Amino acid sequence: MTPLRVLKFGGSSVGAADRLIRVTDLIARERALGPIAVVVSAMGDTTDWLIDAARVAAKGDVLAADPILDRVAGLAIDTSRGALRELLRRSSETDSASDPSDARAPHPDIPAHVTSLLLPLRQVLTGVALLRQCTPQTLDLVLSFGERLSASILAALLPLAGLPAVFVDARDWLVTDDRFGAALVDQDASHDRLAALRPGWGDVVAVHTGFLGATPDGRSTTLGRNGSDYTATLLASALRAAEVQIWTDVPGVMTGDPTILRDAYPIARMSYQEALELANFGARMFHPRTMVPLIERRIALRIRSTMDPDAEGTRIDERGAEAAGPTCVTSLEKLALLDLRWRRISHEAGVGARVLRALEQAGITVWMANQAAHGQAVAVVIPQESAEQASAAIDAELALERARGEVDSPGVRAPITLLTLVAERMDPRSAAAQFFRALGQVGVPVRAIAQGMSSRSISCAIDGGETALAVRTVHAAFNFAHEEISLLILGHGTVGAQLLAQIQQQQAALRKHHGIALRVVGLADRARALFEPQGLELGRWQAHLAEAPALASSDTLTALTPLLDRLRRLPAPVLVDCTAADGMGPVYAEAFARGIHVVSANKKPLTLGTGPDGQLRAAARSAHAAWRYETTVGASLPVIATLADLVRTGDRVHRVEGSFSGSLGYIAGEVMRGVPLSQAVRQARQRGYTEPHPRDDLSGLDVARKALILARELGLTLELAQIHVHPLVHSDLLAEDDLERFFTGLADYDSTFAASLAELKARGRVLRYLARIDLAPDTGEFRVRVGPIDVAPDHPAATLKGAEAFVAFTTERYEEYPLVVRGAGAGGAVTAAGVLADVLKIAQTLRGR
Ligand code: ASP
Ligand code: MG
């Protein structure tokens, strides 16, 4: 026989008609799998309302409590009426086919039931009003009506769903002491009573009230707020159940606060110890003592979602998860940090202990306490709402010391958030180092660190305003879900627009198959910028950008610095430069200074004078920021990476030769086929192979820049001016700024160009535009040349087609047969893919950290 399971449903699961129906369905479904018992909380906010009712009654005005009670009754009636109607509708559908005179469950008269159940409550409140006093004992009696309502209603509805059920008032078996409001349970006595009652229910579904108990002499008690979970685990222990299922509206214990993290996800398995740790550090999911009955009897606890009943949820048991690693990050907000510092060495010993005792006596929860070893400084983290009361309690306790001028009143800092990483199966030292490093990198100041860090968790107090950033950072740093990458993209021309499209297309697959969450958090052009830490809506960036406010400054650096300041506070920040703009060097410098990684498709910052360029590299290095720029030579072809590997592995490069201008390669190919020069250039531009003004290609300047980037990758200290550049056409033709006039000028030159080409063809040669870096064997100096060259038909460049590019590395190792990289070397799509690859490589390196 399947062992018994206990199902607990919280207040929100039974607080609306459709939800209540869902609960009856779930109970039916689970019952079909084996025997179950059910525990429910009061509907919705009933408990809070009952507390209000008692409070106003205690002021002497019983009439003021009436509307509140009406609200309690109204919720119960509306909810159960709605559910009843649906259950009846369903049973009439199934009944119409069968015998109408069958033994259908009688319709419960719910309004009458609610009214009669609440009658004694009205009497109790009248008593409260007359006495003008509501003792904790009375309050517990008042609160008991909430669970009695919900459990009795559910038990009355279940038969209509075909499930015989019985209502069990847990006050009949759950024996407690008389600490009203938070009574302590006598487990043995409770077990005995339950054992005696149980045969009375047979195998129908028993629906127990959560939260409630009674003293041995029958006075009502409660187990403390949210105590229904505890009822469920006590019941499970008494019945020797195999499992407790807490049904709620979240998918399980999450890896972090889902209101802060978009990629928080339910933890599949965790151990009792981790759950206890979580409970201690503010996961409001369970109270530590809830776990106790389970641990004793090794009963598993499962958190499941009524919204997604087929999901596994979180299972908490003795074993926990198999794999090592952190479990989750919790953030307990709305706290205050009280800080006491001694001005003079005190004579008194044990002041810290006195402070804690004073707080305990004032009934204030202390979430974290930190006492300097010499005893002359104490910091405590307490609920923000208790800050004043706590200060007063401490002042009273230390009145003498204050009078002697040894200590001031505590400094109060609020709001404070207690951030905790639960990591049972981690090396605590490395976890702590990584935890604090991650916070430090994004500039979150740590206000206090828990002194007696348990080996299962690490906590610290941070400013409340930093909560979201800190949670996201820690969540990302420990790879709970994915490596999160935050991208600020500059420029949305051919490359930028393609990149945005590719990211949109790849995002889901990257997340699913590679655990990388790429988030485009910002997009800027010269005029406008969008920034959204949660990520832009990639399908609609055009419209959103058009509506975005204009940049505050026309100066690139001034305009972008505030964006960099925001970017640096997000996980794994990367600046992606898809512009061809001048003046980006200082922007990169500011990015590196903030620990932001940079991916450039823009060649210009890489070809600045050696001074600033050298400084940029050094800046990147000292900030441990990555700088990748593979697409600056040969689009996404692995040219830079290949060369870097050769250099790194100690090969000696003799020559680098290549046609790595997709545009000039394409133009050369076209003119060789007989296309007039001006037309070939126009086509190249239309296909996105050229720079915005094709002169930058025809002048050879673009190729020269690429050659310079390669030369510098080789380790040469070289300036752009030192490269010998021969333009494809005479430089006079290139002076024209206006595009149309430029093309007209070029057309006039077509026939001259064609004539020289005919002569070249007659010699059996092929026109190409090449860059060459040669090592002069005698001097050991490199020479970099760029220009049009006629090559033999068997030269690798001669067979290039379209925008194909090639680079040949002749080295000591690749002497006889050079290492050749060849393929499409221009175009928005391949360049964007190369940029994306650079971003992903950064993600990979980060993962390894
Ligand atoms: N109804 C009680 C409360 O609101 C107990 C519970 O929900 O678990 O605290
Ligand atoms: Mg509750």
Confidence band of 456 (pLDDT split at 50, 70, 90): confident
**Which CA distances in Å does 256 have to 443, 704, 712?**
20, 51, 45
Among all bound ligands, the one having the nearest atom to the CA of 225 is: 1
Q: Which residue has the higher pLDDT, 645 or 692?
A: 645
- Distance, in Å, from the CA atom of 432 to the CA atom of 434, rounded to the nearest integer, reads 5
Would the pTM count as exceeding 0.75?
Answer: no
Kind and range of the H or E run holding 236: helix 228-239
Q: Is 141 found in the same domain as 18?
A: yes
Domain of residue 652: give its range.
639-826
- CATH number (domain holding residue 368): 3.30.2130.10
Q: 283 in a domain, yes or no?
A: no
- Ligand 1, from 142, 228, 290: best to mutate by most atoms within 8 Å of Cβ? 228
List the catalytic residues. Answer: 706
Q: Is 779 found in the same domain as 714?
A: yes
Angle made by CA atoms 234, 239, 242, in degrees to the nearest 5: 90
Hey, whose CA ends up nearest to atom 6 of ligand 1?
A: 226
Q: Which residue has the higher pLDDT, 414 or 456?
A: 414
**How many domains are there within the chain?**
4
pLDDT of 408 strictly over 60: yes
Q: Is the dihedral of CA 396, 397, 398, 399 positive or negative?
A: positive
Ligand 2 centroid–CA 813 distance in Å is 72
Confidence band of 338 (pLDDT split at 50, 70, 90): very high
Hey, whose CA ends up nearest to atom 5 of ligand 1?
A: 226
**Which CA distances in Å does 97 have to 28, 94, 101, 225, 333?**
22, 6, 12, 48, 57
Ligand 2 centroid–CA 10 distance in Å is 6
Per-residue pLDDT tens digits for 300-317: 999 999 988 888 889 999
Q: Is 429 found in the same domain as 348?
A: yes
- CATH number (domain holding residue 110): 3.40.1160.10
Q: Is 149 found in the same domain as 27?
A: yes
Q: 297 in a domain, yes or no?
A: no
Q: 309 in a domain, yes or no?
A: no
- Ligand 1, from 225, 244, 248, 249: best to mutate by most atoms within 8 Å of Cβ? 225
Percent of the chain with pLDDT over 70: 93
Q: What is the mean pLDDT of residues 566-574?
A: 85
Ligand 1 centroid–CA 9 distance in Å is 11
Q: 92 in a domain, yes or no?
A: yes
Among all bound ligands, the one having the nearest atom to the CA of 231 is: 1
Q: Is 490 found in the same domain as 408?
A: no
Nearest to 844 by CA among 511, 521, 541, 483: 483
- Give the residue from 628, 651, 666 where a domain finishes: 628
- Residue 390 backbone phi and psi in degrees, to 5: -65, -45
- Ligand 1, from 8, 40, 47, 284: best to mutate by most atoms within 8 Å of Cβ? 47
- Distance, in Å, from the CA atom of 793 to the CA atom of 796, rounded to the nearest integer, reads 8
User: Of ligand 1's atoms, which has the minimum distance to the CA of residue 147?
Assistant: 1
- Give the residue from 477, 511, 540 where a domain finishes: 477
pLDDT of 582 strictly over 80: yes
- Give residue 99's pLDDT: 47
Token code pair at residue 342: 């001694």
Nearest to 37 by CA among 175, 151, 186: 151
Confidence band of 716 (pLDDT split at 50, 70, 90): confident
Per-residue pLDDT tens digits for 517-538: 899 999 999 999 999 887 899 9
Q: Is the dihedral of CA 292, 297, 298, 304 positive or negative?
A: negative
- CATH number (domain holding residue 784): 3.30.360.10
- Distance, in Å, from the CA atom of 486 to the CA atom of 20, rounded to the nearest integer, reads 42
- Give residue 23's pLDDT: 96
Q: Is 201 found in the same domain as 103?
A: yes
- Ligand 1 site residues, Cβ closer than 6 angstroms: 10-11, 41-42, 47, 146, 210-211, 225-228
**446: number of Cβ within 10 Å:** 16
Ligand 1 centroid–CA 258 distance in Å is 22
Whether residue 637 contacts residue 837, with contact meaning beta carbons closer than 8 Å, is answered with no
Per-residue pLDDT tens digits for 628-640: 999 999 888 999 9
- Give residue 429's pLDDT: 73
Ligand 1 centroid–CA 384 distance in Å is 23
User: Of ligand 1's atoms, which has the minimum distance to the CA of residue 224?
Assistant: 9
pLDDT of 481 strictly over 60: no
User: Of ligand 1's atoms, which has the minimum distance to the CA of residue 42?
Assistant: 1
Poorest-pLDDT segment among 188-192, 667-671, 780-784 = 780-784
Per-residue pLDDT tens digits for 218-271: 999 999 988 999 999 999 999 999 999 999 888 888 888 878 776 677 888 888
pLDDT of 202 strictly over 50: yes
Ligand 1 centroid–CA 11 distance in Å is 7
Q: What is the mean pLDDT of residues 345-364?
A: 81
User: Of ligand 1's atoms, which has the minimum distance to the CA of residue 226?
Assistant: 8
Average model confidence (pLDDT) for the chain? 88
Whether residue 167 contacts residue 207, with contact meaning beta carbons closer than 8 Å, is answered with yes
Hey, whose CA ends up nearest to atom 2 of ligand 1?
A: 226
Among all bound ligands, the one having the nearest atom to the CA of 229 is: 1
Q: Is 542 found in the same domain as 471?
A: no
Q: 559 in a domain, yes or no?
A: yes
Q: Is 368 found in the same domain as 339?
A: yes
Q: 268 in a domain, yes or no?
A: no
Nearest to 815 by CA among 677, 684, 651: 651
User: Of ligand 1's atoms, which has the minimum distance to the CA of residue 11?
Assistant: 7
- Give the residue from 628, 649, 675 where a domain finishes: 628
- Distance, in Å, from the CA atom of 820 to the CA atom of 806, rounded to the nearest integer, reads 7
Nearest to 589 by CA among 631, 566, 629, 557: 557
- Ligand 1, from 12, 145, 226, 285: best to mutate by most atoms within 8 Å of Cβ? 226
Ligand 1 centroid–CA 294 distance in Å is 20
Hey, whose CA ends up nearest to atom 8 of ligand 1?
A: 226
Q: 530 in a domain, yes or no?
A: yes
Nearest to 37 by CA among 154, 122, 125, 142: 154
Q: Is 469 found in the same domain as 572?
A: no
Q: 273 in a domain, yes or no?
A: no
Q: Is 41 found in the same domain as 134?
A: yes
Q: Is 580 found in the same domain as 462?
A: no
**770: number of Cβ within 10 Å:** 23
Nearest to 771 by CA among 828, 702, 719, 845: 702
Confidence band of 612 (pLDDT split at 50, 70, 90): low
Q: Is 614 found in the same domain as 680?
A: no
Hey, whose CA ends up nearest to atom 7 of ligand 1?
A: 226
Alpha helices in 455-540 (DSSP H): 467-477, 494-514
Among all bound ligands, the one having the nearest atom to the CA of 182 is: 1
- Give residue 149's pLDDT: 97
Return the bridge partners of 418, or none. 332, 461
Torsion of CA 588, 589, 594, 599, to 10 degrees: 30
- Distance, in Å, from the CA atom of 221 to the CA atom of 244, rounded to the nearest integer, reads 23
